[in-house]
Amino acid sequence: MATARKLPDLVKDSKLLVELHETHAYYFNICNDNAAGQIRRRTWKKETWTRTKRLGGGATGEVWLEECHTGEKMGQVQAVKVISKGSHFDVYQELETIAKFSQSTSKYEGLFVKSLGWYENDISVFLVMEHIEHGSLASHLTHPLSEDEARQITVQIVEGLACFHENEFVHRDLKPDNILVASKGPEWWVKIGDFGFSKRTSGDNSLHSFVGTQKYFAPEVLGLLPHRVAPDTEAGGRYRCTYPMDMWSLGVTVFYMLCHDYPFQGDELLDYLRGSPFPVARLSRQRISQEGCAFIEALLTVDPAKRLNAAAALKHTWLEGYQDEIPSAIPEDLPPVVRNGPMAQPSVTEASASWPMSSTWDSNPTRMEQALNSMCAISEPERLAVPRIEELHIGNPQQKTLDELQVLHDSGLRLIADKKYSQAEDVFQQAADGRKAILGPHHKDRVESMQQLGVAYFFQRRYQDAQKKLQFAMGVQADTLGATHLSTLTSSYWLSSSHLAQGKLDAAQEIIERTMEIQKETLGLQNKDTINSIHLCGQIYCQQEKYDDALELLEQAADAVLGNDHATIFEVHQSLALCLYKMKRYKEAQSVLEQIIQASPLIPELAQSMDLLFDIGQSLYEAGGYSDAQRSFEKVWECRKDILGPTHEKAIDSAKWVASSLCKQRGKASQAPDIISQILREPLPRSTRQSALDQLHDIGMTLCKHRAYIEAYDAFQGALEGRKLLLGRRHQDTLFTASWLGRSLLHLERYSEATELLKSVRKDQLDTVGSDHLHTAYTRFWLGLSLHHQCQDEAAHPYIQTAYWTLRHKLGSNHEDVIVYLRCFGSSYRLLGDYASAEHYLQQALPAAKKVFGSTHEETLKTDLSLGITLYARKSFELALECFYRVANVQIPTLGIAHEKTIATKYYIGMTLDELGRYRMSGTWARYWFEPKKLEYRDL
């Protein structure tokens, strides 16, 4: 059993002043409050901390996570180890070890888990420590680590052990569970923790004791040293368990890190102690270096006197160079709790666990003053002025008058209004305690304080605690005041809200339906409390997917809420929009949101509405309502720029969706590059800039599809310059953009520029992505087209041919691009004068185009026309005429008789009829004839 003894000054100085309650604790810290030009005495500052969850436990105690709910530290977390004074562990020895190695001012900082102080009551000692978010090393050893990572971790542990041993301390329970991970790999940072078994080596016979974890026990701890090992005569013939036991534990730990297994299983340890060889084969199977095997074998030497010590371990060849690789500065990607110290801001977590304390602080003022004097360990000349009890709100509530308690209760209401919920909790707790002492537990004033205490819990997201207080308040109020009393209805409303927040929808529904009906009858529909209950009931129905019922109530609330405060109007209409969204009535939801956003200042709740309007925009987009989607995304973009800033990822995402919506609307796609250009002018993270450049490239492709080639050229030009700067000139994405830029030049009939650019791109692609890459195939194809347009048919054909066969191999014969390339391949043969080969491939292309695109699609018409010209060249005039007629029969009703493509087809028909000697028929086409030269069609 731990017994109190005279503590070193260093331990006494780290003792904290803490007041324990059933559900929370108050920490009292000294702070300087000096105004400019004035000398003022130091004062006390009170912090409220709530225990949120159990982190773990072991032989020496259990560890809990605490979260602060007041002041500058609100939201910060710390770990508290609770050790029973009735245990057989020497907790005061652990305190001495912590004071020596874990204080924030210690020269050993960074090697050991940092201590923030300690306190005690009659039953337990509480050790307050920094919270290491990544947990113990054991939780990360799910597989063998690389040798490099194991060395990083090992050298840090050895440095800590060296400090321990130099100061005549032994850890005695070194294992992965007691090594905490401040930063995960590949750059590891670990700290040694849990000093529950640590001991000084001088003058302490308990160093012979059997403590720790058996898998990591050294043979001398187990009493298994063979006879050949000389005993430690100072220990009366038994081997004294000191520093070497830590080194053996380190050896087991390093072996486990590398092999994900222990070095000795079953009787293997006994065999090893009798002289069997060290199990180096298992390390070799993991390809551990000779130096690593030698290091572990030296740590697991049987004779403690010959075992590698910490100082020698640091100089071992296996660890050479690794001491310098321990992080000298805290990396930016460390969790906030490590980067900013033990009190950094974590993510907000719900405090759901209550304090399992066996005793609470005695609130007698005299005892409090005594505690202030005895627990602070302050020398007499520096004695601080004890703060007035009233200032700290920790006075005895039973000694206050009813008037004072009413003032206290009213101040709590003001704190609630100011959103100072933790302070309000303290005040209402005191008011409730005082009123209970004077008026009894069920008096309406006392119950009202309990009700507001529940509300304070609710706003701190402590929903279970809120439910308990509100359940009590509602039950008493219903019995004493009646079910229709305003106080009862208020408790009912908040109790329903607490159930809803916990996902207890049926319980929430039952309470709020009853409350709502009473309020309608007694208060009327226009009353704000009635509206709030209707709104809450509608929200519950919506979560239960009773959308019709929810819509009826929310529309009722929206009609009644007009004329109320702005926040209430906003919340009700936002819920209405959400319900409409869930019902897939997107345009109605969009209209509701746009109305309230238009009427709203930039308030915090607006961000949530923006998220909903963004979701509505995406739903409209997916349903093909691109114009409405664009309007939503534009509104979201403008608001997010104002609220979050133009470079926030949500603002950027909104802008990109605006551009995507524009691209889907014919005639508006040309506006999309300007949106992306606005984004790119901002200072963006690399990944965000790359994503924006990707979209700018995609917009260029869309513009090409819409035949807006000038705008496409500009888009590709911008994407190309951006990708060159970001990715480099020869990156495959940069080259692909350059290839598309060449295609836009081709469509702009700037053939010589297109040819020069595409040849350069093809050369770089052959060097980077290879000849079989799809990007290379597309570049070849467009280069072939450009050469054909310059009548360089012999040079063009190999590019078209290679591109076609590459795409067919990569994409399959039914892919749209492959079918287009097949037509161009056949047409390329036609331009070379190889009409037989041309007919062969075009006869394959025509049915494929009809199947994939349809008989009236432009691609099908191009294939039919090219086949007709090929058949004409082969003097198959009847077959050629059938092709031309099919094309004309589609073009005349769709393009019109005067369209240039229709006129060209009529020209081919007239020429073919002439060849067939049907002059009377051909005469009707004569007016459409062009200058009667060689029949040729170069449009690929």
**Please, what are the domains in the chain?**
9-131 (3.30.200.20), 145-179+205-327 (1.10.510.10), 397-483+494-502 (1.25.40.10), 813-940 (1.25.40.10)
- Does 336 or 597 have the greater pLDDT score? 597
- pLDDT reported for residue 297: 95
DSSP of 914-925:
HHTT-HHHHHTT
- pLDDT reported for residue 578: 86
- pLDDT reported for residue 860: 96
Read off the pLDDT band of 102 (50, 70, 90): low
Query: Which residues, in sequence order, are CB contacts of 427 under 8 Å at separation 6+?
Result: 393, 408, 409, 411, 412, 415
Q: What is the mean pLDDT of residues 50-73?
A: 81
Do 373 and 8 form a contact (C-beta atoms < 8 A)?
A: no
Rounded (5°) CA angle 15-21-27: 35
What residues pair up with 83 in beta bridges, in sequence order? 125
Cα distance between residue 940 and residue 932, in whole Å: 22
- Measure CA of the first residue to CA of the last residue in the chain; give whole Å: 94
Mode of pairing for the β-strands spanning 77-84 and 61-68: antiparallel
Alpha helices in 460-485 (DSSP H): 463-480
Rounded (5°) CA angle 463-467-468: 125
Question: In this predicted model, what pLDDT tens digit does every residue of 437-451 receive, in sequence order?
Answer: 888 889 999 999 999
Read off the pLDDT band of 719 (50, 70, 90): very high
Average confidence score pLDDT of the chain: 81
- pLDDT reported for residue 230: 56
Question: In this predicted model, what pLDDT tens digit does every residue of 455-471 receive, in sequence order?
Answer: 999 999 999 999 999 99
Q: Is the pTM of this model over 0.75?
A: no
Element (H, E) at 182: strand 179-183
By three-state DSSP, how is residue 15 classified?
Answer: strand
pLDDT above 80 (res 92): no
Lowest mean pLDDT among 559-573, 738-752, 862-876: 559-573
- 41, HSE (Cβ side, Cα atoms, 13 Å): 9
Cα distance between residue 637 and residue 610, in whole Å: 9
Interhelix angle 605-622/566-582, nearest 10 degrees:
20
Read off the pLDDT band of 412 (50, 70, 90): very high
Do 484 and 515 form a contact (C-beta atoms < 8 A)?
A: no
- pLDDT reported for residue 274: 85
Read off the pLDDT band of 509 (50, 70, 90): very high
Query: Which residues, in sequence order, are CB contacts of 429 under 8 Å at separation 6+?
Result: 453
Rounded (5°) CA angle 394-399-400: 80
Q: Is the dihedral of CA 905, 910, 915, 921 positive or negative?
A: positive
- pLDDT reported for residue 382: 29
- pLDDT reported for residue 86: 66
pLDDT above 70 (res 45): yes
Tokens 């009707």, residue?
A: 924
pLDDT above 80 (res 728): yes
Read off the pLDDT band of 383 (50, 70, 90): very low
Lowest mean pLDDT among 249-258, 406-415, 610-619: 610-619
By three-state DSSP, how is residue 252 classified?
Answer: helix
| Cα-only R_g, the chain | 40
Query: Which residues, in sequence order, are CB contacts of 708 under 8 Å at separation 6+?
Result: 669, 670
- Which whole-number Å values give the CA distances from 69 to 22, 77, 354, 472, 837, in the listed order? 16, 10, 15, 24, 82
Structure tokens at 516: 């709502």
- Which whole-number Å values give the CA distances from 612 to 319, 476, 619, in the listed order? 55, 40, 11
DSSP of 409-461:
HHHHHHHHHTT-HHHHHHHHHHHHHHHHHHH-TT-HHHHHHHHHHHHHHHHTT
Q: Prior bond to 186 cis, omega within 30? A: yes
pLDDT above 50 (res 328): no
Tokens 């043979």, residue?
A: 219
Lowest mean pLDDT among 27-41, 54-68, 167-181, 860-874: 27-41
Cα distance between residue 41 and residue 876, in whole Å: 111
Q: Give the type of residue at 823.
A: R
DSSP of 298-362:
HHT-SSGGGS--HHHHHTSGGGTTTGGGS-SS--TTS-HHHHT-TT---------PPP--S----
Structure tokens at 137: 């090393």
- pLDDT reported for residue 921: 66
Read off the pLDDT band of 196 (50, 70, 90): low
- Does 3 or 108 have the greater pLDDT score? 108
pLDDT above 80 (res 609): no
Cα distance between residue 693 and residue 480, in whole Å: 69
Structure tokens at 910: 């007239």
- pLDDT reported for residue 377: 26
**Alpha-carbon dihedral 66, 70, 76, 77, rounded to 10 degrees:** -10
Q: Is the dihedral of CA 43, 48, 53, 54 positive or negative?
A: positive
Q: What is the mean pLDDT of residues 398-420?
A: 85
Read off the pLDDT band of 52 (50, 70, 90): confident
pLDDT above 70 (res 371): no
pLDDT above 60 (res 621): yes
Structure tokens at 115: 């201590």
Lowest mean pLDDT among 31-40, 704-713, 751-760: 31-40
Report residue 484: phi and psi, to 5°.
Answer: -100, 0
Of 369-373, 511-515, 581-585, which has the strongest mean pLDDT?
Answer: 511-515
- Select from 808, 768, 802 the least CA-distant residue to 783: 802
CB atoms within 10 A of CB 623: 13
Q: Is the dihedral of CA 558, 563, 569, 572 positive or negative?
A: negative
- Select from 846, 810, 803, 847 the least CA-distant residue to 825: 803
Rounded (5°) CA angle 597-599-604: 55
Largest CA distance in the chain: 132
Query: Which residues, in sequence order, are CB contacts of 938 under 8 Å at separation 6+?
Result: 788, 789, 791, 831
User: What percent of the chain is modeled with pLDDT above 70?
Assistant: 80
- pLDDT reported for residue 33: 54
Do 761 and 779 form a contact (C-beta atoms < 8 A)?
A: yes
Structure tokens at 331: 């990396």
- Which whole-number Å values give the CA distances from 720 to 664, 693, 771, in the listed order? 23, 8, 22
Q: What is the mean pLDDT of residues 212-230?
A: 73
- pLDDT reported for residue 155: 95
pLDDT above 60 (res 61): yes
Question: In this predicted model, what pLDDT tens digit does every residue of 272-326 receive, in sequence order?
Answer: 888 899 999 889 888 999 999 999 999 999 999 999 999 999 999 999 877 644 4
Mode of pairing for the β-strands spanning 169-170 and 189-192: unpaired
Read off the pLDDT band of 402 (50, 70, 90): confident
DSSP of 500-520:
HHTT-HHHHHHHHHHHHHHHH
Do 283 and 259 form a contact (C-beta atoms < 8 A)?
A: yes
Structure tokens at 172: 């005695």
pLDDT above 70 (res 148): yes
Read off the pLDDT band of 843 (50, 70, 90): very high
Cα distance between residue 156 and residue 324, in whole Å: 11
- pLDDT reported for residue 242: 80
Cα distance between residue 341 and residue 330, in whole Å: 11
Read off the pLDDT band of 96 (50, 70, 90): confident
Alpha helices in 42-194 (DSSP H): 91-101, 147-166
**Alpha-carbon dihedral 110, 115, 116, 121, rounded to 10 degrees:** 180
- pLDDT reported for residue 354: 25
Do 459 and 416 form a contact (C-beta atoms < 8 A)?
A: yes
- pLDDT reported for residue 510: 94
Read off the pLDDT band of 604 (50, 70, 90): low
pLDDT above 60 (res 933): no
pLDDT above 80 (res 804): yes
Cα distance between residue 57 and residue 79, in whole Å: 12
- Select from 665, 805, 782, 621 the least CA-distant residue to 716: 782
Rounded (5°) CA angle 210-112-151: 90
- pLDDT reported for residue 134: 87
